[in-house]
Amino acid sequence: MDDACSRPTLMPLDLLREITNGFSEERRLGSGSFGKVYEGVLQDGKKIAVKMLYDMPGLDDEQFKNEFKNLTWLRHQNIVRLVGYCYDIQEIQVMHEGRLILAERTHRALCLEYMSKGSLENYLSDECDRYDWHTGYGIINGICKGLKYLHNELEPPIYHLDLKPANVLLDENMVPRIADFGMSRLFTDEQTRATRSSLGTFGYLPPEYIHNNLISNKFDIFSLGVVIIKIMAGRAGYFNSAEMPSREFTDLVQEKWTTKLLETFNLRKAYSAQVRICIKIALSCVQEDRHKRPTIQDIVDRLNNTVAKCTDAARMDWFLIYQDSLGHLTQPGNISNLHCEQETPSKNNPSPSYDMEADKNIFPRYAQDPIDKHVNHIYHGSTFNQDTATIIHSTCFEENASPTKAVLDGDSPNDNQEYSADGNSLPGVEGFQISGDPKPGSTLRACGFSINGTTVCHIQWVHYLKDGTRHSIEGATTSDYVVTADDVDTLLAVDCTPMDDNGRQGNLVMEFANNANKITCDPELQNDVNICISRGRADFDVFVLMYSPEEWEHATLVLRRTGYQVNLSRKDEILIDEKYSPNVQIKIPIGRTTQFILVSSRGVNLPFNTQGITEPSTEDNDIRLRDLTVLVFRAFQNKTPLSSLVLPKETDAISFAKEKNIDDIPSS
């Protein structure tokens, strides 16, 4: 009986009498339409709830057995679990036509897991002061998930038909469990039709049932709406909602709960928005037209979305607090040049400038590779100005956004808008999201809907590192961003600050890539890196930019555990041969998908290019070779331990070397 996956146990009537103290009134927990519930204490001290069904005419044995068989398989964290049952037939003496005769009496009981906190009904009050918002939301979310299980994950589905606070039980952690579901299914069809007018509880019955005896899955949705309103607005909340305009009622409930929130800034705003969405869901559930009510899947999806936003807000506050404690709190840069558009960096149209230190460059300017189809502009040695923000016209968000959520009960993007001191709504972005595969070489795109007159947006891609620090990615100031080896093992995010033509600035919107998980290599690329490190040396064919703007020369970049060499193929000349040191760096310029910069220990910048090196020469292969070279270089420089590697077989290493154009891989 302790195993949550075990089948319910047959329990004799005498045992039930014993553990309930003879079904005494002291042990009675409550009663419902079909029976009384008693507290039972087993020999090991554990408690169960024993529901003795009334001996009612019309209860069909075969129907009971068939429906009971369905109930035994219900397994969900938000459904009260059936742990045992009783089906006992006893002979009793009854008076019949003036004399005693023997007759059979059937005792039926369902034994359920015991919920120590009782029913939700005990916690409702007009002040809603018996639980905080986190507990209240957990109850709402749990009820919805349990109902989704009954409606969508069972075949045939089960309609509860009497969902109300008294039938929502709470465990010791205030986790809700739906009870008494589908009890009307235990009766024959004739009895069900005859008693339909008494199904459910007044106040939770939908109009179509009251007027036309119509039962559908929207029956439970209406009852759910009433329950949520009572959780959020108290016992009288449903009647108040009917007397007030929906917007006014929503504002009132949101304000009441928001004043109780003690969270940090962004998290408090996210929870306040969650409150508003929950009450709007509830109001959409109690619409008179059942066709306008949402499905339980719509509701659960909407709730899950609020949880994701609260998680992002909590992470944002944590980073800001951490940075502030270190004195690294980043303030938004000054906004300038409101109508300046810049090209979007991508594989086919990269940004026109390197983010390198021009004063250390040994060349007068960076040259365009005549065979590089990605480059359409002359390179400029420049340093990104942190005080100058790049502005992207907001129309790029509108065109690229792809909303996926249905609007519930007239919900609109403006419901959670912010207001300026003069009462006018501030510029904003709704549905902000990142699309694309978050792997090195792939392009991510930040997009959303502009609202409240937003015409331009300040975009900045950022890294969150292991120590909690936040670094803006220099030059990454357009909506498209190509993931590189620089992003591996970091949290990648994008900041968006909306503005309008009057220069008014809205609140910062932030979104994490990869579902707020660290960027990682794909397994094949990581395996390639491990092979190179395990061999202790890797030779990469590359192009290096030499003494004139268009002079790219073929070279070999030799990487070893202790240092590196740059060998010019045409002259058989060693250009650089040195050991790794803290001054040696390898950088990836924004928008240059096949290029990287090697900064020597003397501060010399050498641009490299893998465009056209691979065989077969494809854009993806060239990008992959660039990222592989950078990752192997950094692994050797950082002294990656061999014990951390998952090494391939020898034959795999040899075939890999041939495929990736890596020479001189020594044997073991």
3-state secondary structure 450-475: EECCCCEEEEEEEEECCCCCEEECCC
Binding residues for ATP: 51
Check if the beta carbon of residue 362 is closer than 8 Å to that of residue 604.
Answer: yes
Closest CA to 469 of 440, 494, 491: 491
* Class of the domain covering 523-663: mainly beta
Average the pLDDT over 371-392 and give the result: 31
pLDDT band at 648, cuts 50/70/90? very low
The CA-atom distances, in angstroms, between 643 and each of 383, 534, 567, 628, 639 are 39, 10, 31, 20, 11
What confidence score (pLDDT) does residue 222 get?
Answer: 96
DSSP H helices, 475-618, are 523-535
d(CA 319, CA 512): 13
What confidence score (pLDDT) does residue 139 get?
Answer: 97
Binding residues: 51
Looking at residue 425, the DSSP 8-state letter turns out to be B
Q: What is the pLDDT of residues 387-425, one digit of tens each?
A: 333 334 444 444 333 333 333 444 444 444 555 555 578
Residue 130: alpha-carbon gap to chain centroid: 29
Region of poorest pLDDT, from 62-66, 151-155, 534-538: 62-66
Whether 162 is catalytic is yes
What confidence score (pLDDT) does residue 105 get?
Answer: 77
3-state SS record for 27-67? HEEEECCCEEEEEEECCCCCEEEEEEECCCCCCCHHHHHHH
Residue with tokens 């009497």: 162
Region of poorest pLDDT, from 307-316, 435-444, 495-504, 638-647: 638-647
What confidence score (pLDDT) does residue 321 get?
Answer: 58
Number of H helices, E strands in the chain: 14, 24
What confidence score (pLDDT) does residue 503 get?
Answer: 79
The type of residue at 179 is A
d(CA 580, CA 260): 56
Read off the tokens for 638: 């950082």
Q: Is the pLDDT of residue 505 over 90?
A: no
The CA-atom distances, in angstroms, between 612 and each of 372, 620, 621, 625 are 8, 11, 9, 10
Check if the beta carbon of residue 459 is closer than 8 Å to that of residue 430.
Answer: no
Strand partners, 498: 457
Check if the beta carbon of residue 454 is closer than 8 Å to that of residue 497.
Answer: no
Read off the tokens for 484: 């590189």
Check if the beta carbon of residue 345 is closer than 8 Å to that of residue 319.
Answer: no
Please tell me which residue, 373 or 257, carries the higher pLDDT value: 257
Q: Is the pLDDT of residue 445 over 80?
A: yes
What confidence score (pLDDT) does residue 411 get?
Answer: 46
- Name the catalytic one among 44, 162, 301, 486: 162
d(CA 224, CA 200): 12
3 state SS of 76: coil
Domain 389-516: give its CATH code.
Answer: 2.60.40.2700
Q: At the topology level of CATH, where does 1-114 sit?
A: Phosphorylase Kinase; domain 1 (3.30.200)
Model-level pTM greater than 0.75?
Answer: no
Average the pLDDT over 610-636 and give the result: 87
Looking at residue 547, the DSSP 8-state letter turns out to be S
pLDDT band at 356, cuts 50/70/90? very low
- Residue ranges, CATH 3.30.200.20, the chain: 1-114
Read off the tokens for 580: 């790794």
Q: Is the pLDDT of residue 346 over 50?
A: no
Check if the beta carbon of residue 351 is closer than 8 Å to that of residue 343.
Answer: yes
What confidence score (pLDDT) does residue 338 get?
Answer: 29
Element (H, E) at 539: strand 537-545
d(CA 435, CA 455): 21
Closest CA to 357 of 551, 580, 599, 633: 599
Q: What are phi and psi of 247, to 5 degrees?
A: -65, -40
- Residue ranges, CATH 2.30.29.140, the chain: 523-663
Between strands 9-10 and 82-96, the pairing is: parallel
Average the pLDDT over 231-237 and give the result: 89
Please tell me which residue, 407 or 135, carries the higher pLDDT value: 135
Q: What is the pLDDT of residues 198-214, one digit of tens each?
A: 577 888 999 998 888 88
Element (H, E) at 495: strand 491-499
Q: Is the pLDDT of residue 344 over 90?
A: no
Q: Is the pLDDT of residue 155 over 60?
A: yes
Average the pLDDT over 266-284 and give the result: 94
Q: Give me the long-range contacts of 366-371 (CB less than 8 A, separation at least 24).
A: 366/545, 366/549, 366/607, 367/545, 367/548, 367/549, 367/550, 367/551, 367/552, 368/549, 368/550, 369/543, 369/545, 369/550, 369/552, 369/609, 369/611, 370/550, 370/552, 371/552, 371/611, 371/612
The type of residue at 395 is T
Read off the tokens for 549: 């703007």
The type of residue at 666 is P
Element (H, E) at 658: helix 650-659
Please tell me which residue, 201 or 318, carries the higher pLDDT value: 201
Domain 118-329: give its CATH code.
Answer: 1.10.510.10
d(CA 266, CA 132): 19
Collect all residues with Cβ–Cβ distance below 8 Å to 409 and sequence separation of at least 6.
246, 280, 281, 283, 284, 287
3-state SS record for 305-363? HHHHHHHHHHHHHHHHHHHHHHCCCCCCCCCCCCCCCCCCCCCCCCCCCCCCCHHHCCC
- Residue ranges, CATH 1.10.510.10, the chain: 118-329
Check if the beta carbon of residue 254 is closer than 8 Å to that of residue 274.
Answer: no
Closest CA to 411 of 513, 302, 485: 302
Q: Which residues of 147-161 are buried (b: 16+ CB within 10 A; e: fewer)?
A: bbbbbeeeeeebbbb
